[in-house]
Structure 1
Amino acid sequence: MLSAFPFLTATEFSSACQAFADRVHAYGSLQDLGWSSVRVLQQPSGSILRLSKSISPIGPPGNDDTPPVSEDGESQVDQLEEDDDEALIRRPDPGFRFEVEYDIILSPTYRVPVLYFVLRNAPREGPAGMEAVYQYLVPHQYKTELKSVGVMGGISMGYHPESGVPAYFVHPCNTADAMKDVGGGRDITPETYLLLWLGLIGNCVNLHVPRELLASNNI
């Protein structure tokens, strides 16, 4: 059990990261879980849980602004574009993908995990801007909450504490209180803490824990 819930020690966080990685790899197929890589990095400052995935810019996750559909099942956008040669040029390349890399790091100040992430235009190397983050990573139901720095904190741009490169992160200012609300009164292990945290913070930027990984946990 945790020594000072809703906070974590470095040892508890490291244990949680390794337990999560072991659970993922015991499942077998990363592709079936929607991830391309899950690993624990041991750095002088502590453990980092790194998860990577690719997403398509066509029909991005969390985008519920679906164009209206006519009676024959064809969207109004498609109907308009049939007669618009320039629209065909503007359509995204179906093979074009974004790569997103998430790093979960324990904050020595807040003593809770912090989610850093970079969204890149694959196969190009340049990181995508904040507009793309909200379009392709943030589900609609979380956009207002994140922009107003609500219970989950807000998305900010900063420097990755280990690599020093620019990265986005979900500010941890409200994480402890939010974790107390969802896990208070329960016996929380480090692994369960991380799963609860991922459900709370990860979901807001398209880092979902597949239900297959929760089968043996009462989350």
Structure 2
Amino acid sequence: MSRHRDEYRQWPFLNQEEFELACAFFDQRYVRASLGPTRQIFKIRSRRTLTTGNSYIEILRLLQLPEDEDELSLALSKLGNGGDGLNSGSGMEIDITEEDADEEALRSHTSSETNSKGKQEPPGYSLYSHQPYVTYEIHLHPTYSMPTLWFMLHDLPMGEPSFDVDAVYRYLVPPEYKSRLRAAGVTGGVSAAPHPITDIPAFFIHPCQTKEAMESFGCPIKDYLMVWIGLVGGCVGLWIPSEMARDEKEDQ
């Protein structure tokens, strides 16, 4: 345990360099994992801000699979063909070809655009044939020096606002977490604030209690985000495919 903690300047906190390395290892896990069909509905990519060049992780997940197979095929095809995403024209498209081409696909079309005022726009996504989806982002918190999980809902059924805490509890929070999260309030539960890049209102899990949760673990930096998501992500429906952990162990 102490050997792993020597990899950090101050466990369990991360400085920017350590966070960059943790993001790179996490992205590498996803690229190398044998995910099969899961890769079509669960996307992970490492991104960088245009203003500072700092890394962050972006995760996109379809909330529910269409029951009709043809509808799913249409949804997945639209995902790679542009469309009316959050910021159409941002150049972000997601490939749905065979897994052998995943690494190249995951490295392309990943830059955000800037608007006429120089402010960075949110990444644009093609529509999943109007299938609801969620985007998660992992950013390093400048004050707490811990990863922070941001998330937003998209393309909810007509009449349902995406930026609504009740929708978060309805679509993302598993039943066993609902009462605990509501009791946590602003500190430790689901909070809302301007997104760290776009300034658009978004939800996040407050990082104030992350330190205590991580302190009991001793993990190398290559496993940091895997452990952290295991502690933080489940309360808002974020789980990492088991293949990302299993393949890593087999390679050792």
* TM-score normalised by length of structure 1: 0.72
Whether the 8 Å contact between 1:7 and 1:176 is mirrored in structure 2 is: yes
Residues 1:30 and 1:203: Cα distance change in structure 2 (over 3 Å): farther
- Distance in 1, matches of 2:148 and 2:36, equals 23
Residues 1:123 and 1:136: Cα distance change in structure 2 (over 3 Å): closer
Aligned residue number for residue 204 of structure 1: 235
Q: Structure 1 residue aligned with 2:190, among 148, 155, 175? A: 155
The letter for the 2-side match of 1:121 is D
Residues 1:57 and 1:27: Cα distance change in structure 2 (over 3 Å): closer
- Distance in 2, matches of 1:109 and 1:103, equals 17
Greater C-alpha Rg: 1
The ranges of structure 1 where at least 4 consecutive aligned residues each deviate by more than 6 angstroms after the TM superposition are: none
- Distance in 1, matches of 2:249 and 2:188, equals 26
Any residues of structure 2 matched to 1:126-141 within 5 Å, and which? Answer: 127-141=162-176
Q: Please, which runs of 5 or more residues in structure 1 have no aligned partner?
A: 59-94
Aligned-residue RMSD, C-alpha: 2.8
Whether the 8 Å contact between 1:30 and 1:37 is mirrored in structure 2 is: no
The letter for the 2-side match of 1:55 is L
- Distance in 2, matches of 1:159 and 1:31, equals 34
The letter for the 1-side match of 2:19 is F
Residues 1:20 and 1:136: Cα distance change in structure 2 (over 3 Å): same
112-121 or 29-38, which deviates more: 29-38
Instruction: State whether structure 2 residue 225 is matched by structure 1 residue 191.
Output: no
Residues 1:22 and 1:38: Cα distance change in structure 2 (over 3 Å): same
Q: In structure 1, the residue corresponding to 2:211 is in which secondary structure?
A: helix
Q: CA deviation at 1:37?
A: 2.4
Q: Please, which runs of 5 or more residues in structure 2 have no aligned partner?
A: 1-6, 67-128
- Distance in 1, matches of 2:35 and 2:241, equals 12
Residues 1:2 and 1:35: Cα distance change in structure 2 (over 3 Å): farther
Aligned residue number for residue 21 of structure 1: 27
- Distance in 1, matches of 2:157 and 2:45, equals 22
Aligned residues: 178
Q: In structure 1, the residue corresponding to 2:184 is in which secondary structure?
A: coil
Q: CA deviation at 1:56?
A: 2.4
Aligned-residue identity in percent: 34
Whether the 8 Å contact between 1:54 and 1:99 is mirrored in structure 2 is: yes
- Distance in 1, matches of 2:184 and 2:40, equals 28
Q: In structure 2, the residue corresponding to 1:176 is in which secondary structure?
A: helix
Aligned residue number for residue 6 of structure 1: 12
Q: In structure 2, the residue corresponding to 1:148 is in which secondary structure?
A: helix
The letter for the 2-side match of 1:194 is L
Instruction: State whether structure 2 residue 151 is matched by structure 1 residue 145.
Output: no
Residues 1:29 and 1:122: Cα distance change in structure 2 (over 3 Å): farther
Q: Structure 2 residue aligned with 1:51, among 55, 59, 68? A: 59
Aligned residue number for residue 168 of structure 1: 203
* TM-score normalised by length of structure 2: 0.63
Whether the 8 Å contact between 1:35 and 1:51 is mirrored in structure 2 is: no
Aligned residue number for residue 70 of structure 1: none
